[in-house]
Every structure is written in C-alpha cells, then in structure tokens.
A and B are shown apart, each in its own frame.
Chain A
Amino acid sequence: MKKFAFNRAETLEDAVSAGASAGVRFIAGGTNLIDLMKENVERPDRLVDITRLPLGEVKRQADGSLSLGALVSNAAVAEHPLVRGHYPLLSLALLSGASPQLRNLATVGGNLLQRTRCCYFYDLATVCNKRTPQTGCAARNGINRQHAILGHSQACIAVHPSDMCVALAALEARVRVLGRQGERTIPIADFHRLPGNEPEFDTILRAGDLITAVELPSNDWSEHSHYLKIRDRASYAFALVSVAVALQLDGEYIVEARLALGGVAHKPWRLESAELALRGQRTSNSSYQRAAETLLQGAEGFEHNRFKIELARRAIVRACAEAAKGTRR
C-alpha cells in the first residue's frame, strides 16, 4: 500500500472542502477502498475519515419518505424495522450481498460508490480503461463470465457489483449529495453512468461531493416485491444476474411495475418501456416474458457470458412470479 496522510473530518463542510483536492479520498467503512489500496489500484495521497460526521440516522421525513444516512451500515439498514416493514425489497437485496462482517462495516454511501470487481480492473499487469484511461480493455477478449451484456462500450464491459443499488433503482430512490455548490438531490437512475468513452467515471459525482443520505419514496411496494440473485455460490458471491421487482396488483392484474437488473451492466439496468409492458397485464408468465424481452433488447454477450441473456430472461420471469405471490418475509 502506498503511504498516505490521514485526518478526521469534524464537520460536513470540512469534509467537502478537503475532498475537493486532488488525491484525497473519503473513507468510511473502507471495505472496498482499503482492498483497492492494498492492490495499488487506488493510491490516494490523503484519506479523510468521515465516520464521525452526523450521517448515521434512519429517519422518516415529513413527506413520508425514509432517509437513510450515508454512514448507516448495510447490516443496520437491512435489519431496521422501518426498512424490513416497508421496504423488504431493499432488506432482501442487502442481505444477499457480501458477508455479515462486511455488511457491519460497509455503509450506504460506500455501497453506492463501490468499484467494479472486474478482475482486470484489479490486476495491474493487464490493461484497463477504467483503471488507467486509454490503455485498452483486457476483459473484452479475456475471462468475461462476470461482465456486462447491456450498455457496455468498446472501452469497458465491467458491471456495477452492488445488490443494494439494484433495489434502490426499482424503488426509485434519491441520493442526497453535499458539494461545494451546496446540497442537491440526484435520482438513482442518473447517479451511476454507462461507461461510454470515460469508464473511469462510475458516477456523476465530482471532487468534493459527499453523499449525505439516500431517500426512499413513500410508495414502498411492500406487498409484492422480490429480489432474486443468481450466483456461482449459494452465499457470499457477486451476482451473475439479479432481479429487483416490485408490483402493484389489482386482483390478477398488474397496475404498476418496477423492474431492475443487477450484474448485467455498468449500472442497475432499468427501462420504463419494460415496466409499461407489464401495466394492465395479467400476472402470468407470458406477461413477464414480454417484459423480459423488452428489458433485454439489444443485449450482447461475450465469449464467457452469453449465457447471461437467457439466464436474465428466466430470472425476470421467476422473480416477477415470486413477487406476484406476495413478498416473502
């Protein structure tokens, strides 16, 4: 690990001002950052410890939304009574990610900002446009089993590894960010970006921006939701494909639907057209199949991950059928 300077931020303003300098990284849970520093993928000059900032609360807001402080641990969010009761989709997604030890450390903000687990991104002996821009992509013709089938570019075929963010996409969460120009709210759909020609940028955040909270809208979809994660091990593995689905039903008919995929793209994959394809339809496999076709339009696999297209199609149908049966608690 490269040597670095360290200080603790005492106020939010301190953190934002310190974070704006080149070579500075915020540290909270550290589960991803320390790992990347040990691999020399991340080489910050200074770490600013933000863990003592007042961002550790889960609270109901006046408009009915639920605010998750950026420093609340993944475990605490998953087990929080308001999350379990009203946003079981989020709880399920969080508990399907990482291990109990990691979930105790990892935070809401850090989960949003975690980097891809593409093995070439981690391996300094290979080229990677995300790690070092304009060097090439070793994954394209490499071992790409874990990689993207949607939204990838010539420059990068990495996927975003989060489970939490897939649930947040379906729940239409908002990210609260404090920057040098003050506070702003970013819809989760706009927070992460596709790789394009600049895969080094995972999100639209810029230097100094500090995530303060994630807000969950009051519509909680708690009756009919499901998170299905398909992976190489039964537990403690990243998704090959995951599906977050939330349905609002009227008898056998779908009034409204939200559908997001994980493990398939540089960001949680969600298309309004796929959700509209479910609106007014019967809760049947043929309805789910049509939505799956729409959501997977344009999917293109590589040598080792073409199976993901059919896997995603089947996972969507199964997840929708599970959600229609009622949320498992």
Chain B
Amino acid sequence: MDDASSSFEITINGTKRHFNVEPWVTLLDLLRERAGLTGTKKGCDHGQCGACTVLVDGQRVNSCLMLAVMQDGKEVTTIEGLAAGNELHPLQRGFIQHDAFQCGYCTPGQICSALGLIREGKADSVDSIREFMSGNLCRCGAYSNIVAAIEQARGQL
C-alpha cells in the first residue's frame, strides 16, 4: 500500500464492498460519494457535531475524522443498515413517535450514536443519556424528545 490510490475492502451494512480510493478520502466521503449511502450526513466535518456518526466494528465513531483506507477489513453500520426490510429499527420508530427531530439533518447520526450508547449500557437514566449523547448536536433543539425516544427504544433492543 503506497502513494497513489489504495485498494481495500469494507463490509458496509453486511455487504462486503471493494474500493480503490486516494488516501485522503474520509470514511464519510467514501460512504456518501463512492458507496452511494447519503444517509450519513456531513455537518461540521470536524468531529464537533456528530452528524456523521456511524458504527465501525460495533462502536460509534465520527466518520468525518477517519481515513477510509484505514478501515480495511472492518464492518461499518450506517443508518441505511438499521431497518430490517420494511420494519423500522426501534430507534427509528422511537424518533418518529416522540417527534425527536425537526429538520432531520442530525437524525441519522443521533440514531447511530444512540445505538452505540445503548450497547455500551449507558442509556439507563436521563442524566446518563444526556451526558453520553453530548457528541451529537441538534440545532433544532429536539433534545428532550431525543432522550424520550432513546428511553423508549432501549428496552426493545
């Protein structure tokens, strides 16, 4: 692996995909522009807003601060990978039922982050949810409804 484009494989939402891209392509740009998965959003592009949150090998991360080439052999889960066919994921249902968004731009990142949060076992109280979701900003200010959606979904996973 050297200078020019690199060839590697990433499993995205259960499907192994092959890529050949320059080393400066971020995982976020790879997902959106090379893999055609535009559900993951680019907000600040500096790791401050959390809109780009996906799960890599089960852990929530900021895809805007990761080089795609470094994810060789890893498993990535994006918002597109959560629903089972037409059956929405419990977090997706929770966000709809609790009106946990207005513009919706931060929502894919919020949901992927919430999935990581629940798996980490940190969704057991409102205070803990608020603290451990602090890496996801919502400029519409839907925070209280986001907390309610996560509280509802945590028992359904």
Residues of A within 8 A of B (CB): 1, 3-8, 27, 30-31, 34-35, 38, 47, 49, 51, 75, 98-102, 104-105, 234-236
Contact = CB atoms under 8 A, between A and B. Distances in A.
Contacts of B70: 27, 30, 49, 51
Given A5-B3, A6-B23, A99-B134, A105 B67 contact: no
Nearest to B66: A30
B62 A105 contact: yes
Nearest to B24: A1
B81 interface: no
Contact of B65 (A6, A30, A47, A236): A30
A270 B20 CA distance: 49
B34 interface: no
A34 B52 CA distance: 15
A101 B53 contact: yes
B115 to A, nearest CB: 12
Interface string B2-17: 1100100000000000
A124 to B, nearest CB: 15
Contacts of A102: 47, 62, 65, 135
B157 interface: no
Contact of B61 (A35, A105, A235, A236): A105
Given A47-B23, A100-B116, A101-B60, A31 B65 contact: yes
A105 B135 contact: no
A234 B116 CA distance: 21
Nearest to A233: B134
Given A31-B47, A102-B65, 10 more contacts: A5-B23, A8-B1, A49-B70, A75-B59, A101-B50, A101-B60, A104-B59, A105-B61, A105-B65, A235-B130
Contacts of A235: 130-131, 134
A2 B59 CA distance: 29
B24 A3 contact: yes
Contacts of B67: 6, 27, 30, 34, 47, 49
B139 interface: no
Contact of A6 (B1, B60, B122): B1
Contacts of A105: 61-62, 65-66
Interface in B111-130: 113, 116-117, 120, 122, 130
B105 interface: no
Contact of A100 (B3, B45, B132): B132
Interface residues of B, number: 35
B60 A35 contact: no
20 contacts: A3-B24, A5-B23, A6-B3, A6-B23, A6-B67, A7-B2, A27-B67, A30-B65, A30-B66, A38-B46, A47-B23, A98-B135, A99-B136, A100-B116, A100-B120, A101-B61, A102-B65, A102-B135, A105-B62, A235-B134
A35 B44 CA distance: 11
Given A3-B22, A4-B23, A38-B45, A101 B135 contact: yes
B134 A236 contact: yes
Nearest to A6: B23
A106 to B, nearest CB: 9
A6 B72 CA distance: 13
Give the top 7 A-B pairs by smallest Cβ distance, nearest first.
A99-B135, A6-B23, A235-B134, A236-B134, A5-B3, A104-B59, A34-B65
A101 B113 contact: yes
B69 interface: yes
Contacts of A3: 22, 24
A7 B4 CA distance: 10
Contacts of B61: 101, 104-105
Contacts of B131: 235
Contact of B47 (A4, A35, A100): A35
A279 B130 CA distance: 39
B26 interface: yes
B50 A6 contact: no
Residue of B23, B60, B64, B65 contacting most chain A CB atoms (<10 Å): B65
Contacts of A38: 45-46
Contacts of A35: 46-47, 65
Residue in A8, A35, A99, A101 with the greatest tally of chain B CB atoms within 10 Å: A101
Contacts of B116: 100-101, 104
